[in-house]
Amino acid sequence: MTSTSDTATPRSRKGVDGWRWTGRIFLTIMILYTALPMVWMLLTSIKSGFAAMQFPPQWWPTEPTLASYRKLLDPQNSVGQDFLRFFWNSLFVSFVTTVLAVVVAVPAAYAFSRFRFPGRKFLFFAVLLRNMFPAVIFLVPLFILMRVLGLVNTHGSLILTYLTFGLPLAIWLLKGFYDNIPIQLEQAARIDGATRFQAFLLIVTPLSVPGIIATAIYSFIGAWNEYIYAATFLTKNEQLTLPVGIQRFFSENTTDFPGLMAASFIMSVPVVVLFLVLQKYFVRALTEGAVKH
Amino acid sequence: MAEVVLQHVMKYYGSMAAVNDVNFTVNHGEFVALVGPSGCGKTTTLNLIAGLLPMSGGDIKIGDRIVNDLDPKDRDIAMVFQNYALYPNKTVFQNLAFPLQMRKLPKDEINRKVQEAAKVLDITHLLERKPRELSGGQQQRVALGRALVRDPAVFLMDEPLSNLDAKLRVQMRSEIKRFHQDLNATIVYVTHDQLEAVTMADKMAVMNGGLLQQYDTPAQVFANPVNMFVASFIGSPAMSLVPLDVATVDGKTVLTSAEGWNLPLSDANARKVAGASSRKVVLGARHSTIKLHKSQVAGSVPSKVYTVEPTGDITFVQAFLSGAIVNISLPPTASVAPDEMVWLEFDQERIHLFDGETEMALRAA
Amino acid sequence: MTTLAGHANAPRGSIPARPSILQQMWTSRADYLYVLPAIVVMLIVIAYPIYYTIELSFFKTPPGLQLRDKIFVGADNYTAILSSEVFWRVTINTVIWTLASTLIAFVLGYGAALALHRDFAGRAVLRAILIIPWVISAVAASYIWKWMYHSDFGIIGQVLVQFGFTDRQPNFIDNVHTVLPSLIVVNIWREFPFAMIMIMAGLQTVPEQLLRAARVDGASTWQRFWHVTFPHLRGVSTVTILLLAVANFNSFIIPWIMTGGGPSNASHIWITHIYELAFGRQRWGVAAAYSVLLFVILMALGYFYVRALSGNEKEQGA
């Protein structure tokens, strides 16, 4: 910047600074709004039950303790046994859901991206419209359906449900990726001697790995956090997933806030870690899938 | 190597005919260019030959087989794409090996063939690189290599040079031509650039609006365009087309302009004009066949200079004639100024005459 | 040798009959295989429930009876709903909840995306922190905030008391007047990151040249935003708002875990109310009728959703 342009536009320079400061202040407030509840969760979880309920509050725990975590993660006592079983159940359901979601969504998204078959547009919007309807509407009929299929009180009922409910967005995200892979690559492969399916498997699939990862994270997080179906379809204690298990457990132990906060923290760790490690794929998927559509 | 025959080939998109009753035969070892403006159906035609699109009607023969219902992989063809379509996650070696792997060739044979192809195209030192690490020209060579390695019956090329810069394009043009001569390959080559078609092809198929306009050697297409579209599409600068009326003055057939001048026609040309469906006739002339005079000579017509473009060895002049613009080439020594009045003399042997209604070339009856 | 095809307007060769829809479907039958798994799963888990819900809404299911012994009552369930006071209370709550959550989450997300768009040190870290609430489970979020709102030991109330804003620890979620806004704050906490991600993605598609051109033309920061960025993001914004609105309309976990709809229905929204009718009070018929009404509203929203999406598609020329 030369001095002439500085003097020529003093107003706009001031304006730029003004906006920049507005942005900074706004960001600070948003960070506080976002982070303070999480910080408070952590601080509470390392307090004793007594220290958590003091007035005025202990901002910083005077005697930090990992007792709550020890209790939840100890396979020797009954609380720990339950909690670890819930954790394992959640992990199993989420993992199987994720694998199946990828297996089903990949060919569907590819077809929506590439083929021009009759009804394609209608099908795509039907898939998207699925997003519109709340879980509650499906609860009773699905419960009956699961009984017919003999899946009540099994993790299969949850996996089947999560699969369908995660599919629309998964397909949407993946379709964006496929749209960005030039069709000439497949044409070249088919001329080089590949069948349509080989072209898809050998050429397109390796290129869509980032999209598949994004789809997988999305499915995993969705299944891990789901509450309403798990609360309805499962009644046996040993099959509960984490969100329901925690809710059942703490509706009986209403004052154990450090324990509740520790449980909430442990429940959040897998998804947050997964998200932080793979977030670039996720944001990219949204960019390419959702925005460009 | 084999010949390719298209018979009554049709392709509809909805009710729009993208390729409309196209017939031509590419003989064994021939280099044929499909040329036309964008949207003329040339790439669609190529994709039909490749089997990447289903046909709406007609037959395509490659060699002795009708291939209408064959998958691309079973047609014994290779294709080079405009954006090269190199597999981005494979190395150059793997790209070249892919078509051979698909044909389940033994490993050592794949290795040998890839090395051979790489040597021919001078890309041996690039074999371990990924496509994104290559320059445009190198990618182009790899794409050619992937087609070459298979030893297919027919090579299909879809605007393979249009993503290269001007200098590289000229170089690759001669390389592809050389490639054709060395292999005696049958090649169908799509381009929108008429210069590429004229310089490289044994024959060119000029397309417009889904219809095949003319199929002949470049020299024939250049010398005897069948209609005004072909006349204006082939050659640079384009052939000048001047709409005029036919009249008879003193028993002789002349072309008359609203500007008030008459151009007498030779007997041969007068016979051609006699076959026109109405009095409207379009006069066509290439820039090199028009003489420019500073003063009136016999048989010349008055015109006004619009622009003068020196290019070094030739100076191009654009001039107004009866409401149309005429291109004339002059030696660089000529001195002409914009807005100057000049007289144009047409070479009666080399002018083209088109029917003003049907736009078809007029031929002696 | 020369082939004459005539000129472009010359009469065409005979045009073969266009294939019918069924023929087209038959020729592209292989393509359907790719979508088949998705469609089968969808049909089982979506079409059947919708049919069943509509059927059930015309029946009564007295407590103690098996579901299959339902009694046909015609449209009674619908008239009962529309004439009940709770219905209107819950509807007003739902409207407030949906509108407030959607708009505030969108504005906050939009602002955060703009503030994060400029490159600065630590931007990636800030972005990650801001997205975390969206990733963690709504159950965990509900418990965290329930603890912060606690009537005796809640940190928010204690801070207010400590700084002298109030004498007594306020009781946020056991108070008919404060409960809904308090829950909306939690909901926004979880949802603004979604709007932020969408807008951030949209911002990357704003053509840099246009912004430079506007700068050359003398536009201020605000004018560049208003005349270039904002119109460019209109498509993404519409989709984001619609997605948020639908998600909020369908919210369940936060009100259900934090208050169960109380006190005295002050935080009941449609979904929690339907859930309570069905699973709490076994009034399946009424709950089904509610669900059907919900369908109708959602279909209307869905119409705009599809229109916004296809409008977007046209703009992108895809």
Between residues C7 and B331, which one has the greater pLDDT?
B331
Among partner residues A137, A161, A261, which is closest to C294 by beta-carbon distance? A137
Contact C38 A127 (CB under 8 A): yes
Overall average pLDDT of the C231-242 stretch: 86
Overall average pLDDT of the C113-124 stretch: 86
Among partner residues C7, C13, C15, which is closest to B229 by beta-carbon distance? C7
A218 and A285: one domain?
A: yes
Reported as a single tens digit per residue, the pLDDT across B76-99 is: 999 999 888 899 889 999 999 999
Q: What is the dihedral of CA A22, A23, A27, A28, to 10 degrees?
A: -40
pLDDT > 90 in chain A, percent: 20
C85 pLDDT higher than 70: yes
Is the separation of the CB atoms in B127 and B35 below 8 Å?
A: no
Tokens at B172, concatenated: 């690759």
Q: What is the mean pLDDT of chain C?
A: 80
Q: What is the dihedral of CA C35, C36, C37, C39, to 10 degrees?
A: 90
Q: pLDDT tens track of chain B, all 365 residues?
A: 589 999 999 999 888 889 999 999 999 999 999 999 988 999 999 999 999 888 999 999 998 899 998 888 889 999 999 888 899 889 999 999 999 998 889 999 999 999 998 988 889 999 999 999 998 889 988 998 998 888 899 999 999 888 888 888 888 888 888 888 888 889 999 999 888 999 999 999 999 999 999 999 999 999 999 999 999 999 888 899 999 999 998 888 899 998 889 999 998 999 998 888 888 999 999 999 999 999 999 889 999 999 999 988 899 999 999 989 999 999 988 888 999 999 999 999 999 999 999 999 998 76
User: In angstroms, what separates the C-alpha of C35 from chain A's closest C-alpha?
Assistant: 4
Contact C298 A228 (CB under 8 A): no
Contacts of range B62-66, beta carbons closer than 8 Å, 24 or more positions apart? B62/B2, B62/B3, B62/B4, B62/B153, B62/B154, B63/B2, B63/B3, B63/B153, B64/B2
> Would you state the pLDDT for residue B179?
85
User: In angstroms, what separates the C-alpha of B147 from chain A's closest C-alpha?
Assistant: 8
CATH of C72-136+180-316, one of 1.10.3720.10, 3.30.1330.10, 1.10.150.80, 1.10.3470.10: 1.10.3720.10
Structural domains counted in chain A:
2
Q: Which has the minimum average pLDDT: B105-114, B258-267, C63-72, C143-152? A: C63-72
Residue of A nearest to C219 (CA): A12
A132, part of any domain: yes
Rounded to whole angstroms, the Cα distance separating A285 from A6 reads: 42
> Would you state the pLDDT for residue C255?
93
Q: Which has the minimum average pLDDT: B280-289, C128-137, C230-239? A: C230-239
A95 and A156: one domain?
A: yes
Rounded to whole angstroms, the Cα distance separating C152 from A53 reads: 8
Residue A105 half-sphere exposure, CB side, CA atoms within 13 Å?
34
CATH 3.40.50.300 segments of chain B: 4-226
pLDDT interval class at A142 (50, 70, 90): confident
User: In angstroms, what separates the C-alpha of A76 from chain C's closest C-alpha?
Assistant: 25
C63 pLDDT higher than 70: no
A51, part of any domain: no
Reported as a single tens digit per residue, the pLDDT across A223-243 is: 998 998 898 888 888 889 999
Cβ neighbours around A136 below 10 Å, total: 25
> Would you state the pLDDT for residue A175?
81
Contact B21 C6 (CB under 8 A): no
Which of A17, A26, A30 has the highest number of chain C CBs within 10 A, making it the mutation to test binding with C?
Answer: A30
A210 and A101: one domain?
A: yes
Which of A17, A25, A34 has the highest number of chain C CBs within 10 A, making it the mutation to test binding with C?
Answer: A34
How many contacts does A have with B, using Cβ atoms within 8 A? 60
A100 and A197: one domain?
A: yes
C46 pLDDT higher than 90: no
A2 pLDDT higher than 60: no
A217, part of any domain: yes
Rounded to whole angstroms, the Cα distance separating A91 from A242 reads: 9
> Would you state the pLDDT for residue C207?
83
C-alpha angle A201/A204/A205, rounded to 5°?
Answer: 60
Contact C52 A163 (CB under 8 A): no
Rounded to whole angstroms, the Cα distance separating A144 from C67 reads: 10
> Does residue A28 sit at the C interface (CB-CB below 8 Å)?
no
What is the CATH architecture assignment of B4-226? 3-Layer(aba) Sandwich (3.40)
A65, part of any domain: no
Q: What is the mean pLDDT of chain A?
A: 81
> Would you state the pLDDT for residue B182?
86
> Does residue A201 sit at the B interface (CB-CB below 8 Å)?
no
Between residues A67 and B23, which one has the greater pLDDT?
B23
A52, part of any domain: no
Reported as a single tens digit per residue, the pLDDT across C268-280 is: 998 899 888 888 8
Between residues A122 and C189, which one has the greater pLDDT?
C189
A269 and A127: one domain?
A: yes
Contact A30 C108 (CB under 8 A): yes
Domain that holds residue A84: 70-291
For the whole prediction, is pTM greater than 0.95? no
A64, part of any domain: no
A100 and A152: one domain?
A: yes
We report the CATH number of the domain holding residue A147 as 1.10.3720.10
pLDDT interval class at C4 (50, 70, 90): very low
Between residues B209 and A64, which one has the greater pLDDT?
B209
A255 pLDDT higher than 80: no
The residues, ordered by sequence, that sit 6+ positions from B30 with a Cβ below 8 Å of its Cβ are: B3, B186, B187, B202, B203
Residues 119-178 of A with CB under 8 A from C: 119, 123, 125-142, 144-145, 160-161, 163-164, 167, 171
C16 pLDDT higher than 60: no
pLDDT interval class at C64 (50, 70, 90): low
A218 and A78: one domain?
A: yes
pLDDT interval class at C15 (50, 70, 90): very low
A124, part of any domain: yes
> Does residue A1 sit at the C interface (CB-CB below 8 Å)?
no
Residues 87-116 of A with CB under 8 A from C: 103-105, 107-108, 110-112, 115-116
Among partner residues A192, A195, A203, which is closest to B99 by beta-carbon distance? A192
Contact A291 C201 (CB under 8 A): yes
Q: What is the 3-state secondary structure (H, E, C) of chain A?
A: CCHHHHHHCHHHHHHHHHHHHHHHHHHHHHHHHHHHHHHHHHHHHCCCHHHHCCCCCCCCCCCCCCHHHHHHHCCCCHHHHHHHHHHHHHHHHHHHHHHHHHHHHHHHHHHHHHCCCCCHHHHHHHHHHHHHCCHHHHHHHHHHHHHHCCCCCCHHHHHHHHHHHHHHHHHHHHHHHHHCCCHHHHHHHHHCCCCHHHHHHHHHHHHCHHHHHHHHHHHHHHHHHCCHHHHHHCCCHHHCCHHHHHHHHHHHCCCCHHHHHHHHHHHHHHHHHHHHHHHHHHHHHHHHHHHCC
A10 pLDDT higher than 50: no
Q: Which has the minimum average pLDDT: A63-77, C2-16, C221-235? A: C2-16
How many contacts does B have with C, using Cβ atoms within 8 A? 53
pLDDT interval class at A11 (50, 70, 90): very low
pLDDT interval class at A129 (50, 70, 90): low
> Would you state the pLDDT for residue B324?
92
User: In angstroms, what separates the C-alpha of C19 from chain B's closest C-alpha?
Assistant: 9
B240-355, CATH topology level: OB fold (Dihydrolipoamide Acetyltransferase, E2P) (2.40.50)
Tokens at C185, concatenated: 């704050």
